[in-house]
Amino acid sequence: MNDKVRVSNLNMTFVSDRLERHVTALDDINLSIDTGEFVCLLGPSGCGKTTLLNLIAGFLLPTSGSILVDGTAITGPGPERGMVFQEYGIFPWFTVAQNIAFGPRMRGASKQEQEEIVNHYVDLVHLKGFEHHYPGELSGGMKQRVSIARSLANGPDMLLMDEPFGALDAMTRETMQEELLRIWEMDKKTCVFVTHSIGEAVYLADRIVILSAHPGRVKDIVSVDLERLRNRSSAEYFDLYRHVDTILRQEMARSRDQEQVEEV
């Protein structure tokens, strides 16, 4: 068995006493992710992508069903599962080096170990010369590099990324996608990457998990058997893009129709 993550019969219902309502964010999700696989979660807003990622990270516990990582049920967050957030999640009052050293320092790494780790990851994410800058002095793309380096510095064997490039302009976003693949190719950490963007999913993923909305279910899983680095203007890339786009549009129409029925 090569599963890194196994999600079985997973349900997540949020109960709001204040609003006196329940929201079933995820309904009967079944999904296996291989070790070293790059999986994108794609779907309309509110379909439960962040919820699923937070469950895998251990920030939330499911209403029912299970998530096994390396065969063991998740009971909370752990350093082996590194999270990268859309809004970077780095400390503005720490320099680049201090942000990267944060996890290792908390684990009790010596000054010298911290320095080695900082040097290694600053190099990896191409931030040499910016070690002593504060996040406020960096561009969005650079901040996201710090965020990725900070997660990697904890030595995770999985990266969980929630629309990490959503706030970046189109050109920077493409560069960051290439950089992420370069880093991923080096030691093939298992990646679960949430995105709204079909192009991003087709460019990055081994498999695209398309979620449907209200409640979130696995609508379809599309394998992307194109060699990396992928050519964004090739016919194969465009065919896959169109295929995923058709599934998503059907899903949006279905969820709109359903909302209208509920309003009547």
Ligand X SMILES: Nc1ncnc2c1ncn2[C@@H]1O[C@H](COP(=O)(O)OP(=O)(O)OP(=O)(O)O)[C@@H](O)[C@H]1O
Paired strand residues for 21: 16
Select from ligand X, Mg ion, none the partner in contact with residue 243, using the beta carbon and a kind-dependent cut-off of 5 to 8 Å: none
User: Nearest approach, Cβ of 148 to ligand X (angstroms)?
Assistant: 19
- Judged by CB under 5 A, which stretch of 7-15, 44-52, 56-64, 226-234 contacts Mg ion? 44-52
Binding status of residue 51 toward Mg ion by CB under 5 A: no
- In the list ligand X, Mg ion, none, the entry touching 72 (Cβ below 5 to 8 angstroms by class) is none
Taking the chain, what is the end-to-end CA distance rounded to the nearest angstrom? 49
Q: Is residue 98 involved in binding Mg ion (CB under 5 A)?
A: no
Kindly tell me which residue out of 1, 2, 16, 262 binds ligand X, with binding defined by CB under 6 A.
16
Among 4, 27, 50, 127, interactor with Mg ion by CB under 5 A: 50
> How many Å apart are CA 211 and CA 44, to the nearest integer?
8
Number of residues engaging Mg ion in binding (CB under 5 A) = 1
Judged by beta carbon distances under 5 to 8 A according to partner kind, the member of ligand X, Mg ion, none in contact with residue 77 is none
Amino acid at 207: R
**Residues engaged in binding ligand X (CB under 6 A):** 14, 16, 23, 25, 43, 45-51, 196
